[in-house]
Amino acid sequence: MAGQSNPRVRHLRQLLGDVRLVRGDLLDQGSLIAAVERVQPDEVYNLAAISYVPMSWQQAELTGEVTGLGVLRVLEAIRVCSGISASRSPGRGQIRFYQASTSEMFGQVTVTPQNEQTPFHPRSPYGVAKAYGHFLTQNYRESYGMFAVSGIMFNHESPRRGAEFVTRKVSLGVAKIKLGYERQLRLGNLHASRDWGFAGDYVRAMQLMLGQDQPADYVIGTGVTHAVEALVERAFRHAGLDWHDHVVTDTAFIRPAEVDRLCADPAKARDELGWEPKMGFEELVCMMVDADLELLAASGGLAGDSFGTDSW
């Protein structure tokens, strides 16, 4: 389903080839019911959200509506279209539902690494809204017997990542500096640590989750964590540059509340789904830098110009 005013729809059309796009809006219950009725899907993946954490402080109410209540509307569309009544009648068929939950729900952790039992302490309106969607997904599974599951995904990246997120901001920044378009890269907190993996590996995990006999939630991450500074160092080194010569810390990119360190314990996914990440941190960072060097060389330095340079 594509949002009604998503500027990336044209870009999506080019990537998707023969895939048919149907409109739906997480703010509009009727549009979601109409989309589910029209498509009659076997599986629904809700990957839609306001997902840039700093934006969620600027637009906290909208984040609650889209990222939180949007999950309710998708679940309701599936429930209504499946003929499941509020009194838990079995309904027609079984549409399987995947909710993109997030490690941001763990937030300020007291236990490392984090698994499916780790308590939540979200540190942003985004994390709070995602926790609502997560519990609601569990609740519809338990209340209505729906096949509804959450993947608690740690950060997952690729060359298609938006340039406002730190991995892509760094890979684009390195490429611009290497090709002589810029001299500086302005970043926020270099000491925060994240468990970064390759998005393609995580999409494989989503599909595996919906292919199980029984619905269950899974933590998906690599189990290895790195500081933003290590990401920066590796990316600049790959391009033959020293980050100390180019990176400037800028308080404009410091968040009102930070999540200092996240690290996944993906043992359940490994044991029950047979899932393991195929790409490690170094390969991921180098791949993203190479992709942006190629992109910028082809576009004369214009790619990504509208992203990643504004503070939150």
Positions touching ligand F7E (CB under 6 A) are 51, 53, 102-104, 153-155, 164-166, 169, 187-189, 192, 194, 228, 253, 255, 258
CB of 166 or CB of 206, closer to ligand F7E? 166
**Active site includes 229?**
no
- 118 is a catalytic site residue: no
For residue 46, the Cα-to-chain-centroid distance in whole angstroms is 11
The residue among 24 and 308 lying less far from ligand F7E, judged by its C-beta, is 308
DSSP annotation of 21: P
Joined tokens for residue 254: 């410091």
Of 104, 7, 114, nearest to 52 (Cα)? Answer: 104
Report, in Å, the least distance between residue 32 CB and ligand F7E. Answer: 21
Closest CA to 121 of 135, 103, 94: 103
- Measured from each CB, the residue nearest to ligand F7E is 192
Nearer to ligand F7E, 44 or 53 (CB): 53
Q: Which residue, 1 or 187, has its beta carbon nearer to ligand F7E?
A: 187
Which residue of the set 45, 67, 98, 102 is catalytic? 102
- How far apart are CB 35 and ligand F7E at their closest, in Å? 23
Q: How far is the CB of 80 from ligand F7E (least distance, A)?
A: 28
Q: Name which of 31 and 171 has its Cβ closer to ligand F7E.
A: 171
Question: Which is catalytic among the residues 98, 126, 144, 218?
Answer: 126
| Whole-angstrom distance, CA of residue 186 vs CA of residue 310 | 10
Report the nearest approach of ligand F7E to the CB of residue 284 (Å): 13
Q: What is the dihedral of CA 54, 59, 61, 66, to 10 degrees?
A: -80
Is 167 labeled as catalytic in the residue annotation? no
Specify the amino acid at residue 201.
D
CA atoms of 94 and 90, how far apart (whole Å): 9
Structure tokens at 39: 């498509």
Shortest Cβ distance from residue 18 to ligand F7E (Å)? 28
Sequence-ordered alpha helix ranges (H) in 40-159: 55-58, 60-63, 70-81, 125-144
By annotation, the residues acting in catalysis are 102, 104, 126
